[in-house]
Amino acid sequence: MTVNIDFPYHVDGRGRTATTDADDHLRDLIEQVLFTAPGERVMRPDFGSGLAALVFEPGGPELVATTQHLVQGALQQWLGHLIAVESVEVSQVEGALTVEVGYVVLRTRERANATFSRSVP
């Protein structure tokens, strides 16, 4: 049996490291890829997507296309052995970034959608 540590890291009610099920763990992994900036992890300097940096770029169809391509490429690179990305929708409203990812879980062949939102300082 695989134990999946919940993200963000926290302690559960028993005083132990909190764990989660496989589906939530996969969602947590996607969130980590999306919102980790390249260079942020010491042992994996190329990990992440750099998504948050794009919030400050001027909007428009070019930015949307670039962001979708960037996110899809990062997810394929880091999680391609776990998921097949079917769609990426990105929106930016007043400093809040929302990303919706449609994917297939390769282990079960089930389709899933996950929405992530982050306010950028």
Domain 4-119 in this protein, CATH class? alpha beta
pLDDT at 56: 65
pLDDT, position 16? 92
pLDDT per position as a tens digit, 104-120: 999 999 999 999 987 76
Q: What is the pLDDT, as a whole number, of residue 55?
A: 66
DSSP code string of 56-117? GS--SHHHHHHHHHHHHHHHHHHHTTTEEEEEEEEEEETTEEEEEEEEEETTTTEEEEEEEE
pLDDT digits (tens, 9 = 90+) for 27-57: 999 999 998 999 899 999 999 988 877 766 6
What are the residue boundaries of the structural domains of the chain, listed by start? Answer: 4-119
